[in-house]
């Protein structure tokens, strides 16, 4: 028998659990339409990943977690997304929340479920990631993302909370009675992820059947089931840890720093369903109780409209309001059209007969009963005063946020002061002020950043303009200095206008020099060819002159200028000089051949000249031959026959 410890304060209100715990859990009928709120945890609302008109399967992801404390949301059944819009929400503020409305098709068609069968070989980090994808949150009321509680390992002790201390609520009791094996499977996975040395399952001793069922199931795993005294609020995590381990966890300190982590039995059951069966968190057990004829625990899909759920319990006609949660920690539902959330463990119907109106609050008489009942050892009457006077700084100094809102102080207050309502009001005001402050800081940071960006852009633009101006000035300076050089070369006393003209001409010359040379025009011959032609013509002219002089010396008339033969003068002169030299040789050869009786030799077939040239040469040769024959005849006439 392990030793148990006690926590300060606490109360023993009537339990009223037998109404609902007497019958087995039943499955709530599938509603035709579900309103699945996107805010299913204590963090941000999830971001929808489906659109209106999409057909989805049961268990399909329809909204992704948005931030560390956010939780993924899955389709509770198969059907069609008919709306993504604000809907009534199960929250004391009564403010609507964005929700996905799903029209069920009645087929309950699952996605392809993929369990983590090899979880014993998986690391804690892998199991954490898997549970985050499955949207598992704490089902004891806090809806804290469960995977975040698996971050510290190894641990000394894993505490499983089956105390369920609040009156009227019996969903955990029925779960432990009926599904103890599945709970222990989930505990085994959780223990593996945390590498916890021991597991302690705490159950209030007013649930003997649940204790027996859990003991039977836990034996195979080596878990310890511990019956703890029935005292409210032993179901608080810190209170149960203290009862089972004797460790008092101070405010602001995580229990893991003391080697302990605590999970609710419904949460570990959901972990087991996710890891071993691949089922995301899409349903939960809900207690329907209070002023109803058919109190029960039902397993309902998340998003089931609360009024449809409540109708299963047949509420009394004199019902007044419906509370989500128990009579001590619950809150009045503003609108029963809201869909069931993961936090919804109980719907408690209040009636005047069952819950007589609370007498008007009286002044505090400083009796101190509230302080005696407080499980956290606070001074509730002082907190009440600070909250009422809106002295929130003082309330925080007096550890307002240590208050777990258990309601024990309100329950015992003889002046009927709704103390917890004051604490909730003070907390919400402080949170709102903190949000406003953060928003203002964010807006200020954005403004400062924008100002900085504008100034930077302005400076960069000014720098660009300055660079351009400097470049233009440098070019102008270079031009002026060239003109100045010209001006300095102008003789002293020269006309200023002339000097300016000279400077302009110098700048233009400089620009021409800088510009690429234009293409030179020519008559089609380059300089080398032109020079070669000129040289050839000069040589030909010299030879012609020499020939003419020789002829003049021999008494022959100078050769007449050749008729235009299409050849240029240089070539013509060269040809005629060659022919003149060749003519005597040819005449001698012809005479020799004539003397020998041979016909004269034909002209060469080719002399390297083209036909036109050849024709011109032959014509010239003919004229030269005629002139030669005439000359010979003249000489013959002048000389006697030898
Ligand atoms: S129990 Fe009520 S009356 Fe007594 S001290 Fe506390 S607040 Fe005042
Ligand atoms: S509601 Fe807060 S102040 Fe009151 S008993 Fe509970 S913990 Fe203490």
Q: Could you report the per-residue pLDDT of 414-453, keeping only the tens digit for each? A: 999 999 999 999 999 999 999 899 999 999 999 999 999 9
Index of the ligand 1 atom closest to the CA of residue 415: 3
Question: Which neighbouring-strand residues pair with 501?
Answer: none
Classify residue 598 as exposed, middle or buried by CB count within 10 Å of its CB (0-12, 13-18, 19+).
exposed
Give the separation between CA 371 and CA 410, rounded to whole angstroms.
10
Q: What is the mean pLDDT of residues 583-596?
A: 59
Across 386-390, average pLDDT: 95
- The closest ligand to the CA of 420 turns out to be 2
Please report, rounded to a whole number, the percentage of residues in the chain having pLDDT higher than 70. Answer: 77
**Residue 348 binned pLDDT confidence (cut-offs 50, 70, 90):** very high
Residue 546 contacts residue 540 (beta carbons within 8 Å): no
Cis preceding linkage at 233, omega within 30: yes
CB 28 within 8 A of CB 75: no
User: Which H/E stretch holds residue 263?
Assistant: strand 260-264
The region of weakest confidence among 85-94, 386-395, 538-547, 550-559 is 550-559
Closest ligand 1 atom, residue 384 Cα: 7
- Assign 477 a pLDDT band (cuts: 50, 70, 90): confident
Q: What is the pTM of this model?
A: 0.71
The ligand that comes nearest to the alpha carbon of residue 414 is: 1
Ranked by mean pLDDT, the top range of 195-209, 496-510, 577-591 is 195-209
Write down the pLDDT at residue 516.
45
Atom of ligand 2 nearest to the CA of 410: 4
Which residue has the least CA distance to atom 7 on ligand 2? 403
Contact 201, 160 (CB under 8 A): yes
pLDDT at residue 229, rounded to an integer: 97
Cα(279)–Cα(273) distance, integer angstroms: 6
Q: Is a pLDDT exceeding 60 seen at residue 215?
A: yes
How close is the Cα of 408 to the center of ligand 2, in Å? 6
pLDDT given at position 620: 73
- For residue 295, the number of C-alpha atoms closer than 13 Å in the C-beta half-sphere is 22
Low-confidence winner among 33-42, 262-271, 416-425, 564-573 (lowest mean pLDDT): 564-573
DSSP state of 285: E
Residue 92: count of CB within 10 angstroms of its CB: 14
Tell which phi-psi region holds residue 257, choosing left (phi > 0), alpha (psi between -120 and 50) or beta.
Answer: alpha
**Best residue for ligand 2 mutational test, from 12, 166, 233, 380 (most atoms within 8 Å of Cβ):** 380
What are the beta bridge partners of residue 159? Answer: 200, 262
d(CA 283, CA 510) in angstroms, rounded, equals: 90
pLDDT at position 624, please? 73
- What pLDDT shows up at residue 201? 98
Of 230-234, 251-255, 397-401, the range with the lowest mean pLDDT is 251-255
Separation of 409 CA from ligand 1 center, angstroms? 8
CA 406 to centroid of ligand 2, rounded, Å: 5
Q: Whose CA is nearest to atom 1 of ligand 2?
A: 405
The answer to whether the beta carbons of residues 347 and 322 sit under 8 Å apart is yes
CA of 370 to the centre of ligand 2 (A): 8
- 639: confidence class by pLDDT, cuts 50, 70, 90: very low
Q: In this structure, which ligand is nearest to the CA of 380?
A: 2
For 42-46, 452-456, 475-479, 502-506, which range has the lowest pLDDT when averaged over its residues? 502-506
Q: Which residues line ligand 1 (CB under 6 A)?
A: 364-370, 380-381, 384, 413-415, 417, 419
pLDDT in tens, 250-308: 888 999 999 999 999 999 999 999 999 999 999 999 999 999 999 999 999 999 999 99
Q: Which helix (H) or strand (E) holds 300?
A: strand 296-301
Mean per-residue pLDDT, 171-175: 98
Predicted local distance difference test score (pLDDT) of residue 142: 79
Mean pLDDT across the chain: 86
What is the Cα–Cα distance from 195 to 219, expressed in whole angstroms? 19
* Atom 6, ligand 2: residue with shortest CA distance: 406
- Residue-level pLDDT at 175: 98
Higher-confidence residue of 70 and 494: namely: 70
Helices 496-514, 419-489: axis angle to 10 degrees equals: 110
Q: Which of 2, 8, 43 lies closest to 238 in space, CA to CA?
A: 8
- Quick one: DSSP state of residue 493? T
Which residue's CA is the closest to the ligand 1 atom numbered 8? 364
**What is the rounded average pLDDT of the residues 410-416?**
97
Q: Give the pLDDT score at 478.
A: 80
Q: Cα–Cα distance between 39 and 45 in angstroms, integer?
A: 4
Confidence at 510, pLDDT banded by 50, 70, 90: low
pLDDT bracket for residue 389 (50, 70, 90): very high
* Stretch 589-610: mean pLDDT: 49
Find the 364 Cα to ligand 1 centroid distance in Å: 5
Per the DSSP assignment, residues forming a β-bridge with 37 are 99
Cα–Cα distance, 50 to 53 (Å, whole number): 9
Q: In degrees to the nearest 10, what's the CA dihedral of 575, 576, 580, 586?
A: 60
Q: Are the beta carbons of 330 and 367 closer than 8 angstroms?
A: no
Tell me if residue 318 falls in helix, strand or coil.
Answer: coil
Confidence bin at 603 (pLDDT 50/70/90): very low
Q: How confident is the model at residue 151 (pLDDT cuts 50, 70, 90)?
A: confident
Distance 249 CA to ligand 2 centre (A): 16
Q: Which residues, in sequence order, are CB contacts of 243 under 8 Å at separation 6+?
A: 4, 5, 6, 7, 202, 228, 229, 234
Provide the b/e sequence for 39-60 (b: ≥16 CB within 10 Å): bbbebebbebebeeebebbbbb
Question: For the chain, how long is the longest CA-to-CA vector?
Answer: 185
How far, in Å, is the centroid of ligand 2 from the Cα of 527? Answer: 114
The predicted pLDDT at position 621 comes to 77
Best of 251, 407, 424 for a ligand 2 pocket test (most atoms within 8 Å of beta carbon): 407
State the pLDDT confidence band at 205, using cuts at 50, 70 and 90: very high
DSSP 11: B
Mean pLDDT of 322-328: 95
Report CA(416)–ligand 1 centroid distance (Å).
Answer: 8
433 Cα–ligand 1 center, Å: 28
Measure 387 CA to ligand 1 centroid, in angstroms.
14
- Residue 370 Cα: closest atom of ligand 2: 5
Residues 6+ apart with CB under 8 A from 103: 32, 33, 79, 80, 81, 82
Cα angle 541-546-549, degrees, rounded to a multiple of 5: 125
Residue 421 alpha carbon to ligand 1 centre in Å: 14
For residues 37-64, give the mean pLDDT. 96
Q: Which helix (H) or strand (E) holds 64?
A: strand 61-64
- Angstrom distance (rounded) from CA 37 to CA 70: 12
What is the distance between the alpha carbons of residues 153 and 125, in angstroms, rounded to a whole number? Answer: 10
Closest ligand 2 atom to the C-alpha of 383? Answer: 3
Query: For position 75, what pLDDT does the model report?
Result: 98
Question: In the chain, what percentage of residues exceed pLDDT 90?
Answer: 68
**For ligand 1, atom 5, which residue shows the shortest CA distance?**
366
Return the DSSP state at 180.
H
């Amino acid at each position: 028998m392990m030793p148990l410890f006690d926590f300060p304060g606490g109360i023993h209100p009537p339990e009223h659990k037998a109404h609902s715990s007497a019958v087995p859990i039943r499955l709530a009928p599938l509603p035709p339409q579900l309103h699945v709120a996107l805010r299913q945890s204590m963090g941000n609302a999830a971001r929808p990943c489906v659109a209106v008109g999409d057909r989805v399967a049961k268990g399909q992801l329809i909204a992704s977690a948005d931030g560390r404390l956010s939780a993924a949301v899955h389709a509770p059944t198969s059907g069609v997304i008919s709306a993504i819009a604000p809907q009534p929400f199960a929250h004391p503020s009564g403010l609507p929340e964005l929700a996905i409305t799903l029209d069920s098709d009645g087929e309950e068609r699952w996605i392809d479920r993929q369990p983590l069968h090899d979880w014993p070989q998986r690391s804690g980090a892998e199991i954490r990631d898997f549970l985050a994808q499955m949207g598992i949150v704490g089902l004891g009321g806090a809806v804290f993302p469960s995977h975040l509680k698996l971050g510290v390992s190894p641990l000394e002790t894993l505490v499983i909370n089956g105390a369920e201390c609040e009156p009227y609520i019996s969903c955990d009791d029925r779960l432990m009675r009926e599904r103890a094996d599945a709970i222990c499977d989930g505990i085994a996975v959780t223990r593996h992820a945390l590498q916890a040395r021991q597991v302690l399952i705490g159950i209030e001793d007013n649930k003997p059947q649940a204790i027996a069922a859990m003991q039977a199931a836990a034996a195979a795993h080596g878990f310890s089931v511990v019956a703890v005294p029935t005292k409210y609020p032993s179901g608080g995590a810190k209170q149960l840890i203290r009862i089972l381990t004797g460790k008092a966890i101070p405010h602001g300190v995580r229990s893991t720093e003391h080697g302990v982590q605590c999970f609710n039995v419904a949460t570990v059951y959901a972990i087991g369903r996710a890891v071993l069966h691949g089922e995301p968190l899409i349903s939960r057990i809900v207690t329907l109780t209070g002023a109803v004829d058919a109190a029960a625990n039902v397993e309902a899909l998340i998003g089931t409209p609360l009024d449809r759920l409540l109708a299963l319990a047949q509420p009394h006609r004199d019902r007044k309001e419906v509370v989500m949660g128990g009579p001590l920690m619950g809150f009045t539902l503003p609108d029963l059209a809201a869909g069931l959330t993961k936090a919804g463990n109980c719907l408690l119907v209040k009636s005047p007969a069952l819950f007589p109106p609370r007498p008007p609050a009286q002044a505090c008489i400083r009796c101190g009963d509230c302080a005696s009942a407080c499980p956290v050892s606070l001074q509730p009457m002082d907190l009440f005063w600070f909250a009422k006077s809106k002295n929130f700084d003082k309330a925080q100094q007096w550890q307002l946020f240590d208050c777990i809102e258990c309601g024990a102080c309100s329950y015992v207050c003889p002046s009927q002061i709704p103390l917890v309502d004051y604490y909730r009001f003070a907390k919400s005001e402080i949170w709102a002020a903190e949000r406003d402050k953060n928003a203002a800081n964010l807006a200020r940071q954005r403004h400062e950043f924008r100002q900085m960006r504008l100034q930077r852009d302005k400076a960069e633009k000014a720098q660009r303009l300055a660079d351009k101006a400097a470049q233009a000035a440098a070019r102008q300076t270079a031009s002026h200095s060239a003109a100045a050089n010209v001006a300095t070369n102008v003789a002293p006393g020269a006309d200023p206008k002339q000097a300016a003209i000279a400077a302009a001409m110098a700048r233009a010359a400089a620009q021409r020099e800088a510009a690429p040379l234009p293409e030179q025009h020519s008559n089609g011959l380059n300089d080398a060819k032109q020079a070669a032609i000129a040289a050839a013509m000069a040589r030909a002219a010299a030879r012609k002159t020499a020939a003419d002089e020789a002829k003049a010396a021999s008494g022959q008339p100078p050769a007449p200028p050749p008729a235009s033969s299409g050849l240029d003068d240089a070539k013509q002169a060269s040809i005629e000089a060659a022919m003149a030299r060749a003519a005597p040789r040819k005449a001698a050869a012809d005479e020799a051949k004539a003397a020998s009786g041979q016909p004269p030799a034909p002209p060469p077939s080719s002399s390297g000249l083209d036909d036109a040239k050849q024709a011109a040469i032959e014509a010239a040769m003919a004229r030269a031959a005629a002139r030669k024959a005439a000359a010979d005849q003249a000489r013959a006439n002048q000389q006697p026959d030898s």
